[in-house]
Amino acid sequence: MIMKKFILVFIIVLAYEVHAQKADNRYFEMRTYTCPEGKRPELIKRFQDHTLNLFKKNGIESIAYFLPVDESNYTLTFIIAYPDQASRDKLWNQFFNSPEWQKAYKESEVNGPLVSNVQQVFMTVAPELSSGIANLKSEDRIFEMRTYYMHPGRVEAINARFRDHTRALFEKHGMTNVVYWYTVESDGSQSKLVYLLAHKNLESAKASFDAFGKDPAWIKVRDESQASGPIVEKIVSVYFKALPFSPMQ
């Protein structure tokens, strides 16, 4: 009897350790740079020639570098990661104040600034929705970033719906779940759900979502999950293509 209890405790501890090893505790930062018209190629060159290497040198991990599919949108969005939230400011300041970055920054902007606006979003991996970032096969694809603004107090409801139903239904309709994050809001307000899907192309993405929206299984899940009130207030969707030097392709 004692031996059985010991074995049971050992299995529970082992399972906990395996889960802990799989947990992704990195702190993610998504930055979207708006460029003056005609300046984005110079910004891309600065990333390729200097910024990525300096990020790596200063302990900042590059995750993805994206351009919007919409060619009228002069932005560049990139996602980087720090070992944890506590290390973010130290590593970013270390990078930003390094002589190499200051030199590259000043030389690249001799003919004017390359960035007119910066938007920042801080995020952590949604532990019940993804243990980290999915390994993707090398093939032509586009990415869709979807941001969900929930009604007050409805984060757990959206988490449960994605955990138990939505992700599987996405896969059923040909969409690839890449990663799910929750935002970390500086003012302490309610988190948003941010996630990436991969599609073969724009036409495939739209066809998949059309089929998903008409699926009786989804309609049943949606209606049952909203029995106590609406969950999602607003959804923002942006389609991206990865830059050639982006680790995520």
- Over range 69-76, report the average pLDDT: 95
Domains by residue range for the chain, with CATH = 27-123 (3.30.70.100), 126-242 (3.30.70.100)
Give, in order, the Cα–Cα distances in Å from 143 to each of 36, 41, 79, 99, 200: 24, 21, 13, 35, 9
Rounded to the nearest angstrom, the gap between the alpha carbon of residue 76 and the centroid of all alpha carbons in its chain is: 14
DSSP classification of residue 138: S
pLDDT of residue 242: 96
Band the pLDDT of 13: cuts 50, 70, 90.
very low
Pairing of strands 117-125, 176-183: antiparallel
**Predicted confidence (pLDDT) per residue in 135-194, tens digit:** 887 677 999 999 999 999 999 999 999 999 999 999 999 999 999 999 999 999 999 999
How far apart CA 114 and CA 135 sit, in angstroms, is 32
Band the pLDDT of 16: cuts 50, 70, 90.
very low
Of all residues in the chain, what percent carry a pLDDT higher than 90? 87
Band the pLDDT of 1: cuts 50, 70, 90.
low
Neighbours of 153 (CB within 10 A): 10
Give, in order, the Cα–Cα distances in Å from 174 to each of 22, 93, 171, 202, 207: 26, 41, 5, 13, 9
Which residue(s) pair with 61 in the sheet? 81
Instruction: Identify whether the C-beta of residue 195 lies closer than 8 Å to the C-beta of residue 145.
Output: yes
pLDDT of residue 138: 65
Res. 207: pLDDT tops 80: yes
Give, in order, the Cα–Cα distances in Å from 215 to each of 169, 209, 236: 9, 10, 22
Burial of 249 from C-beta contacts in 10 A (0-12 / 13-18 / 19+): middle
202-214 and 216-225 helices, crossing angle to 10°: 70
